[in-house]
Amino acid sequence: MPRIISNHCIVEDHWQVLTLAADETPATVTLPAAPVLLPLAVWLARRDEIIARYPQPGVWLDSDEGPEALAGDTDRFAVIAVNFPKFTDGRSYSSARLLRERYRYSGEIRAIGDVLQDQLFYMRRCGINAYALRADKDPEKALAGLTVFSDSYQAAADQPLPAFRRHATQEPA
């Protein structure tokens, strides 16, 4: 069973990511047995059916799909995954922050796709708390990426106050 990083620990993971094959459509794709991360389009097309079928569904957003489409529904999900088709595609950082800070989603936000050690710190700051590393990478080694910096200047999902509100007066180094 694949292993992921979840809240700074390595855990066995049981979620599958459903992607549509070329000949499948959101309306007709067979919904597998739980647990599964569904494409946003499937959720939007078959919301009632999914709610009836899964007690706690999971969904994944591609980098060009904003979390706006989940507004009002976020609390239904056990996992919302945000995809990084390439690690240089930074859109899902914004999606994660919006989920945490605007839509107040408190469940798991999982990074999927081209997820690599050297982006984990920024992902964590944006509110992502689970990381399904790219298959060829060792999650044990990647753990170090979560704690590269001990502080940060900006407010973000992990730290509501910018540095200037936390240590207003400091001696020079």
Partner 1 sequence: MYRYDRTDQQLIDERVAQYRDQMTRHLAGELSADELRPLRLQNGLYIQRHGPMLRIAIPYGMLAAAQLRKLAEISRRYDRGIGHLTTRQNMQLNWPQFEETPEILGELASVEMHAVQTSGNCIRNITSDHFAGVAADELTDPRPYCELLRQWSTFHPEFAFLPRKFKIAVNAAAQDRAVIRAHDIGLDLVRGDDGELGFRVFVGGGLGRTPILGKLVRDFLPRRHLLSYLDAILRLYNRYGRRDNLYKARIKILVQALGIEEFGRQVEAEWSELRDGPTTVPDAEFARLAAHFAPPAWQTLPAEDPAHTALISTDKAFANWVRRCVHPHKTPGYAAVTLSLKAPGVAPGDISDVQMIAVAELAERFSFGEARVSHEQNLVLADVRQSDLHAVWQIARSQRLATANIGLLTDMICCPGGDLCSLANARSIPIAAAVNEKFDDLDYLYDIGDLSLNISGCMNSCGHHHVANIGILGVDKNDEEWYQITIGGQQGNAATIGKVIGPSFYAMEVPEVIAALIDVYVEQRTASERFIDTLQRIGIEPFKTRAYAGRDRRRTAKVEHRETEVVSA
CA dist., res. 112 & res. 82, Å (int)? 6
Least distance in angstroms from the C-beta of 134 to partner 1: 10
Least distance in angstroms from the C-beta of 159 to partner 1: 9
Q: Does 165 bind partner 1 (CB under 8 A)?
A: yes
Chain centroid, CA 26 distance in Å:
21
Token pair in block for residue 39: 């494409």
Q: Give the residue among 43, 81, 44 at the shortest CA–CA distance from 63.
A: 81
**DSSP per-residue letters across 1-47:** --EEEETTEEEE--PEEP---TT--TTTSPPPSSSEEEEHHHHHHSH
Q: Which of 126, 130, 132, 133 binds partner 1 (CB under 8 A)?
A: 126
Q: Which of 31, 69, 73, 87 binds partner 1 (CB under 8 A)?
A: 87
Q: Does 148 bind partner 1 (CB under 8 A)?
A: yes
Least distance in angstroms from the C-beta of 46 to partner 1: 26
Residue numbers at the binding site for partner 1 (CB under 8 A): 66, 87-91, 93-94, 97, 102, 116, 118-119, 121-123, 125-126, 141, 144, 148-156, 160-165, 167-173
